[in-house]
Amino acid sequence: MKILKIDHLGIAVNDIDQSRKFWSDVLGLDFEGTETVEEQKVTTAFFPVGESEVELLASTSPDGPVARYIEKRGQGIQHVAFRVENIEQALEELKAKGVRLIDEKPRRGAGGAKIAFIHPKATGGVLVELCER
Ligand code: ZN
């Protein structure tokens, strides 16, 4: 598989309006608005940083994956996302290597990206997202 760069860091927060004060007001990063991805019960906000971005994630429902993450581990870095050239090919390669995946097939993420998660049990505890845009 060809990994092109770190696409973004996903940070789980309770409240985007509250948390974005640090990222935009204190650090001066551009805030490009929010987007809700209902299938994943999440609202996201992206802040471009050079070639990469910071993604804030807030749950839209108490049973969403981000809410469950915060319940267990508190707010903070939730995933690292690598941009790949071809996500279907990357997933095939990982399956062939016997790597445990959360998503066997890509699903739709924020900004129309195709995304898939690798299980943290296969990565030493890091939730890794692959994304293709
Ligand atoms: Zn992400």
**Mean of the pLDDT values across residues 119-132?**
96
Domain that holds residue 72: 3-132
Work out whether strand 107-108 and strand 76-84 pair parallel, antiparallel, or are unpaired.
unpaired
pLDDT band, residue 55 (cuts 50/70/90): very high
Render pLDDT for 63-115 as a digit per residue (tens, 0 to 9): 999 999 999 999 999 999 999 999 999 999 999 999 999 999 999 988 889 99
Please tell me the distance between residue 53's alpha carbon and the centre of ligand 1 in angstroms: 10
The whole-chain average pLDDT of the chain stands at 96
Q: What CATH number has the domain bearing residue 71?
A: 3.10.180.10
Number of compact structural domains in the chain:
1
Please tell me the distance between residue 129's alpha carbon and the centre of ligand 1 in angstroms: 6
DSSP notation for the chain: --EEEEEEEEEE-S-HHHHHIIIIIIT-PPP--EEEEGGGTEEEEEEEETTEEEEEEEESSTTSHHHHHHHHH-SEEEEEEEEES-HHHHHHHHHHTT--BS-SS-EE-GGG-EEEEE-GGGTTS--EEEEE-
Neighbours of ion ligand 1 (CB under 5 A): 10, 55, 81, 129
Please tell me the distance between residue 55's alpha carbon and the centre of ligand 1 in angstroms: 6
